[in-house]
Structure 1
Amino acid sequence: MIELRNVSKEYGIKKALKDVCLRIHPGEIFGLIGHNGAGKSTAIKSLVSVIEPTEGEIWIDGENLVENRLAIKKKIGYVPDSPDMFLRLTAFEYWNFISVAYEIPEDEKRTRLRELTDLFDMTEHQSEVIDSFSHGMRQKTFIIGALLPNPEIWILDEPMTGLDPQASFDLKELMKKHAEAGNIVLFSTHVLEVAQQLCDHIAILKKGELLYDGTIEELLLENKNESLEETYLKLAGRNRSKQQEGTAFDTPLEERGV
């Protein structure tokens, strides 16, 4: 289980996360939902030890992250929000680097690589430099790297960005199977259709604050006669006063001097 206990993160006077509390259970696909800048990536980077929270604690499987960082890292496969890293390495060199870091036995590495590169159509590109790849191919490279050790916890930051429809479908199927096996899949997205399709549990963030923590079904039940889009935008969208509801484009052309 993953627990965020009153986690906050400050950058100067800006609070990227504000006293966030979450529990993510084994067997769940958990979605972090929110606009750009909502705090999704900050929460994820705190979980994978890229950044340190200003306040609060993170516990994973009953262990404090600060006190057990290395052991916990080996339980996690992480896809960052940008695949523009390790650009001078070939795809295979990057995957080999991951296998050494996670101490994957050679036979297991070969088997897992063959399965994953075949699935994501990357077998013929292993010897190519990551810098030469399109955004989608870079994304697939880092997804393969994250899944290669077959870790218990997958933490994926906007993982579908740039993927072609087949790769996106294949990744979603892998996410479902991983959760069904009793593992945790945590991913961020701002695409509501993807969240509705995949998630057992969601959290909605806005400007670092946790606005909702529960299932999509519970959220829609609380907001009868509204679509998921309407409900989400009511929570996380722009606040509009009655004066703001009429825009310049609601005004007749002749009154605008057109």
Structure 2
Amino acid sequence: MIEITNLTKSYNGKTKAVDSINLSIDRGEIFGFLGPNGAGKTTTLKMITGIIDIDGGQVKINGVDNQKNPIDAKKQFGYVPDSPDMFLRLKGIEYINFMADIYDVPTDERKGKIEKLAKVFDMNSALGDQIQSYSHGMRQKIVIMGALIHDPEVWILDEPLTGLDPKSSFSLKEMMRQHADSGKTVFFSTHVLEVAEKICDRVAIINKGKILFCGTIEEMREHFKANESLEKMFLELTEDE
């Protein structure tokens, strides 16, 4: 569960990238965070995860305040950033073991988890290679594997499907659904509206740092009093901002 209260971030003391937003992402749901590029999605996720400082407001992950108890808060989630270009000199298996070390995954449990994730994402043959030799899609896969190696209760994913091949994309969406159906939390950002329409239980639309809508797709359709496509509704929400 993620509770966001009056979350605010400004740059240069003037430009509000995130403007006092409030959201509650429950256990057992896939929550989509929608918005055009530059809307404030990544800034919000980086404040939730503690990567950048919060100017104002509060974030709690499973009841743990990420400013008062940052280490305990970080133990609650797995995070996939918006760029997979990191630790490029490590081999894939070294990166996975590094992430497992950070989250205290017992050695006797790792092998099975790594094998399972590598099979899902078709990465077995690449684990011995350096990440810098990977394609963008392979780097995305290894970062996802690293984020999930400790079986986090909360998944925070920033554009997680970008660069994935169709099979891996389908597998990840299935995993997201299974994770939520087991009573856990998935919070992911996307600008691919069709994805949100198909898999999200609820969505929020952000533009220029403000939440313009939060609810189910059905509620959004009712809001516009017409059975229109999500894309058309999305454009209508953001065009005048």
TM-score w.r.t. structure 1 length? 0.91
Gapped regions of structure 1 (runs ≥ 5): 240-258
| 3-state SS, counterpart of residue 97 of structure 2 | helix
Q: Compute the displacement of 1:69 (Å).
A: 0.9
Q: Compute the displacement of 1:72 (Å).
A: 1.4
The answer to whether residue 234 in structure 2 is matched with residue 235 in structure 1 is no
**In the aligned structure 2, how far is the partner of 1:206 from the partner of 1:190?**
12
Q: Residue deviations 1:90-129, cap 9 Å, x none?
A: 1111101001000001121111100000110101111100
Which structure would you say has the larger Rg? 1
Q: Compute the displacement of 1:238 (Å).
A: 5.2
- Where does residue 155 of structure 1 map in the other structure? 156
| 3-state SS, counterpart of residue 27 of structure 2 | coil
* Counterpart AA for 1:5: T
- Where does residue 59 of structure 1 map in the other structure? 60
**In the aligned structure 2, how far is the partner of 1:68 from the partner of 1:217?**
37
Q: Following superposition of structure 1 onto structure 2, how do residues 29-108 of structure 1 map, counting pairs within 5 Å?
A: 29-108=30-109
Q: Compute the displacement of 1:143 (Å).
A: 0.5
Q: Following superposition of structure 1 onto structure 2, how do residues 197-212 of structure 1 map, counting pairs within 5 Å?
A: 197-212=198-213
Q: Compute the displacement of 1:63 (Å).
A: 2.2
Q: Compute the displacement of 1:62 (Å).
A: 2.0
- Where does residue 245 of structure 1 map in the other structure? none
Q: Following superposition of structure 1 onto structure 2, how do residues 215-230 of structure 1 map, counting pairs within 5 Å?
A: 215-225=216-226, 226-230=228-232
Q: Residue deviations 1:171-227, cap 9 Å, x none?
A: 000000000000000000001100011100111000101101111110011113332
The answer to whether residue 1 in structure 2 is matched with residue 10 in structure 1 is no
- Where does residue 137 of structure 1 map in the other structure? 138
* Counterpart AA for 2:65: N
- Where does residue 250 of structure 1 map in the other structure? none
The structure 1 segments of at least 4 consecutive aligned residues displaced by more than 4 Å after TM superposition are none
**In the aligned structure 2, how far is the partner of 1:6 from the partner of 1:75?**
21
**In the aligned structure 1, how far is the partner of 2:61 from the partner of 2:83?**
25
**In the aligned structure 1, how far is the partner of 2:82 from the partner of 2:240?**
24
**In the aligned structure 2, how far is the partner of 1:238 from the partner of 1:18?**
17
Kindly indicate whether the alpha-carbon contact (under 8 Å) linking 2:62 and 2:76 is maintained by their aligned counterparts in 1: no
- Where does residue 169 of structure 1 map in the other structure? 170
- Where does residue 23 of structure 2 map in the other structure? 22
Q: CA RMSD in A?
A: 0.9
| 3-state SS, counterpart of residue 59 of structure 1 | strand
Q: Compute the displacement of 1:61 (Å).
A: 1.9
Kindly indicate whether the alpha-carbon contact (under 8 Å) linking 2:121 and 2:141 is maintained by their aligned counterparts in 1: yes
Q: How many residues align?
A: 239
* Counterpart AA for 1:123: N
* Counterpart AA for 2:232: E
Q: Residue deviations 1:143-192, cap 9 Å, x none?
A: 11111111000000000000000000000000000000000000000011
| CA distance 1:238–1:128, change in 2 (3 Å) | farther
| 3-state SS, counterpart of residue 23 of structure 1 | strand
**In the aligned structure 2, how far is the partner of 1:113 from the partner of 1:202?**
31
